[in-house]
Amino acid sequence: MSDQSEVQAYYGLPKEVLFCKKCVISNQRPNSAVEFKHTRESKKDTIAFDQDGVCDACRIGERKKSIDWVEREKQLRVLCDRFRRNDGHYDCVVPGSGGKDSFYAAWKLKYDYGMHPLTVTWAPHIYTEWGWANHQAWLHAGFDNYLCTPNGRIHRLLTRLAVDNLFHPFQPFILGQKNLAPKMAKLFNIPLVFYGENEAEYGNPIKDFGEARRNYRYFTGGDPKDTFLGGTSISELLEKYGLEKVDLEPYMPEDPEPLEKLNLEVHYLGYYLKWHPQACYYFAVENGGFRASPERTPGTYSKYNSIDDRIDDFHYWTTWIKFGIGRATYDAAQEIRSGDINRDEGVALVKRFDGEFPERFAEEIFKYLSINPKEFPKASKAFAEPIVTRESFLALADRFRSPHLWQKTGNEWKLKHVVWTT
Amino acid sequence: MKSVIVIDYGIGNLHSVVKGLKHQGAEVTVTSDPSEVSSAERLVLPGVGAFGDGMRELQRRNLIDPIHQFVATGRPFLGICLGMQLLLSESEEFGRHTGLGIIPGKVVAIPHSPGIKVPHIGWRSIQPPAGTTWTQSLMQDVEENTMMYFVHSYTAVPSDESRRLADAQYGTVRISAAIRHQNVTGCQFHPEKSGVHGLKIIHRFLQ
């Protein structure tokens, strides 16, 4: 093996690349972080491996097997009994897209636990036809829903900035999504929010997993001076890009004070009910007419998760560039932990599909990311190249390839470390 | 209802096997209890992973004798993937390991040759060995050359040719797709992951 000690690693990633012995994830996977503090200079915390070379997410998968789910289910009943209302008001908020997980969560709470959920949705950048159909199918299975769709121009601009600064086209979605549920809870005076799975199932620190309640850190803010959207400071957004303060309203983290006054509790349903993503998919098919994507998602083999946003394909392609982890790796790691496939199958799927360029919506996405002078008279002047082309996008990608992960031979970029040779 | 015991020895994925059996109307119990294993009406030994680990885990749970006791009763037994390989006398996977020895022979690595990728993963058609048929076997409802789903790096080589129930041709390698001895059948492929045709084998196993 070549000496890696002299080679630079971007984003604070570990210089030595390791692959989990049980799944296919590498130690380069960043934990989910507080997005409104995210800048190009941010150093990422990454998934922990133990001395046996096994990742935290796999250890949690094992731990799930010994959890007393009957006892956890009882705790859920107690929690629901504490919050249930029969006075004509909603008693909990269930944020989600109407995909398999939020379908399962809302359905269980309403029909098995007698709750009265209000579902809330933060819109994708650009809906896929099947994503929209599934969102509608969710509501027709018996739910009220508020769909929050951000100003398309502002969202495009922030997405472009997130791409240029962080190579993270999905960030504006995450910002809005994390904020929406507590904001709606405040608006409707509903003191309980249910998320689905705990982020620790995918590799956040194990200590997070023992917690039913979500950390406030993820969605409440402090000083606006320390707040960044698309890796850009608020003052820059206002001055350089010509935005007004109100344009940023949906993205700004919630003020913690009113939430504390409301005594808001945020719980993971995945703490109380054993969460199996593929089973959620079948559940949503049987109970709500959920439909998988009609075509394989580029970069992976699956059809049933993260299928509602046309920018999703690019989200996972950028993680492949930055961390060497593409969508097939994320999907296979999850399915190995869930016992749907074994490691040999996972490795073969990663080898075949990881990093496949998402051609199907590419031209539409480049247009989406282009800040043309007609629609953006002021902001367009702040970009050296306001229009995104395939060439400019691929050139940008090269600037985000960390030297410890990538090697260029001739015109071809290759990952130095891959799971099928370990 | 037909009752089936699926052996849980801490190795691999029981989810699909249990689902496949239930789909065909079986009442399934997943257990590592030795007395439940020896007294089962029907027994399934699934498994994914290395041969040595598999035997060690069976031993640790005191399941080897109960499996032999069950087999001696003449009641139906189905081994799947590693659960099929464990039926043989020995394996050379990561060192030499003794198997259950119910079917004489050994388990060897799929030989590397051009056009052969190891592990062998994917769909491949299966046939009865020349001069044999599938009547009076778990395969009797399956048509010759049906595709089944495989994922493995090692392959069983029974010392007695007549134990071979089905073969699959993988490049130049002849894979033992299924083996049989009296009431004991083993499938290298996954009937529970091979769609309607795989389910026909499970259906017959429950008759």
- Chain A residues whose CB is inside 8 A of the B14 CB are 339
Beta carbons of A253 and A219 less than 8 angstroms apart: yes
Whether A159 is in a domain gets the answer yes
- Chain A residues whose CB is inside 8 A of the B53 CB are none
> Between A339, A340, A345, which is nearest B151 by CB?
A345
Q: Do A339 and B119 touch (CB under 8 A)?
A: no
Q: What are the beta bridge partners of residue A213?
A: A267
CA–CA dist B110, B120 (Å, integer): 8
Give tens-digit pLDDT for A117-148: 999 999 999 999 999 999 999 999 999 999 99
Is the minimum CB–CB distance between A210 and chain B shorter than 8 Å? Answer: no
Q: Do B121 and A342 touch (CB under 8 A)?
A: no
- Which residue type, as a one-letter code, is found at position B83? G
Whether A111 is in a domain gets the answer yes
Domain that holds residue B127: 2-205
- Chain A residues whose CB is inside 8 A of the B153 CB are 344
Q: How confident is the model at residue B45 (pLDDT cuts 50, 70, 90)?
A: very high
In terms of DSSP bridges, do strands B77-80 and A228-229 run parallel, antiparallel, or are they unpaired? unpaired
Domain total in chain B: 1
Rounded to a whole number, what is the distance in Å from the CA of B125 to chain A's nearest CA? 19
B8, B11, B13: which to substitute to probe chain A, counting the most A Cβ within 10 Å? B13
How much of chain A, in percent, has pLDDT values that exceed 90? 77
Is the minimum CB–CB distance between A420 and chain B shorter than 8 Å? Answer: no
Beta carbons of A41 and A180 less than 8 angstroms apart: no
Which residue, among B193, B7, B200, has the nearest Cα to A339 in the 3D structure?
Answer: B193
Q: What is the pLDDT of residue A59?
A: 93
**Angle A403-A408-A409 from CA coordinates, rounded to 5°:** 150
Q: How confident is the model at residue A190 (pLDDT cuts 50, 70, 90)?
A: very high
Which DSSP letter does residue B168 get? E
Q: What is the pLDDT of residue A6?
A: 75
Whether A324 is in a domain gets the answer no
> Between A339, A340, A344, which is nearest B151 by CB?
A344
Lowest mean pLDDT among A237-246, B113-122, B161-170: B113-122
Task: Please identify which residue in the block is written with the tokens 């121009």.
Answer: A153
Rounded mean pLDDT of chain A? 91
Find the mean pLDDT for residues A362-376: 97
Please give the model's pTM, rounded to 2 decimal places: 0.88
Whether A167 is in a domain gets the answer yes
> Chain-centre distance of CA A394, in angstroms?
23
Give tens-digit pLDDT for A281-316: 999 999 999 999 999 999 999 998 889 999 999 999
- Chain B residues whose CB is inside 8 A of the A339 CB are 13-15
Q: Do B15 and A345 touch (CB under 8 A)?
A: no
CA neighbours closer than 13 Å in the CB half-sphere of residue A396: 23
Q: Do A344 and B12 touch (CB under 8 A)?
A: no
Q: The domain spanning residue B121 has which CATH number? A: 3.40.50.880
Domain total in chain A: 1
As annotated, the active-site residues of B are 81, 190, 192
Give tens-digit pLDDT for A220-263: 555 677 889 999 999 999 999 999 999 999 998 888 888 888 88
Length of chain A: 422
Whether A176 is in a domain gets the answer yes
Which residue, among A349, A345, A270, A356, has the nearest Cα to A302 in the 3D structure?
Answer: A349
Q: Of B58 and B49, which is predicted with more confidence?
A: B58
Beta carbons of B12 and B46 less than 8 angstroms apart: yes
- Which residue type, as a one-letter code, is found at position A361? F
Whether A109 is in a domain gets the answer yes
Residue B49 has pLDDT above 60, yes or no: yes
Beta carbons of B189 and B15 less than 8 angstroms apart: no
Helix (H) or strand (E) holding A185: helix A171-188
Whether A316 is in a domain gets the answer no
A283, A335, A342: which to substitute to probe chain B, counting the most B Cβ within 10 Å? A342
CA–CA dist A400, A383 (Å, integer): 18
Q: How confident is the model at residue A1 (pLDDT cuts 50, 70, 90)?
A: very low
Q: The domain spanning residue A140 has which CATH number? A: 3.40.50.620
Q: What is the pLDDT of residue A207?
A: 58
Domain that holds residue A261: 1-296
Lowest mean pLDDT among A35-39, A111-115, A196-200, B148-152: A196-200
Q: What is the pLDDT of residue B15?
A: 85
Question: Minimal Cα distance from A343: which residue of B?
Answer: B49
